[in-house]
Structure 1
């Protein structure tokens, strides 16, 4: 058999190396909401502080005091967040948030 156990060992090492590369990120880095290029270009960005969270919406108080209600669903990419967190939401014309990221104040 060509290669024998040495060939098998090398192939296994290569597969293991590629598998380990995917494990280099920490838990929070794997779950960080990142908008796509299309979202950043096509959607309006709403920034502010979360004032209310519901099962199908998030209310964001913007700098001028204006409250913006955005719709969310199971397809919305969201960081772990709570009331009072500062966020940036990428919102379509119909009020749907495709991505909501936590940001600094």
Structure 2
């Protein structure tokens, strides 16, 4: 299975309690599916180096409907606008 990935957003907060949040646009070349993958990691150095790691996948529309407009949302919108940019050769109108 080949996965093509493009990072949309990454945020790391720390230092004693480190939290990382990353969103990636993923295209699975085998199943021909396009989705957003969100990885959240929490490292607590105070409690013996405990690590909590979670990964979730979601449909692009569901990702864009989430509350707030993060840098990841803005990057995804920018990519989508680039893909569907009117080129003058197309007879379809983009609204």
TM-score (norm 2): 0.27
Q: Comparing both chains, which one has the higher relative contact order based on Cα–Cα distances under 8 Å and sequence gaps of 6 or more?
A: 1
Tell me which structure has the larger Cα radius of gyration: 1
TM-score by length of 1: 0.25
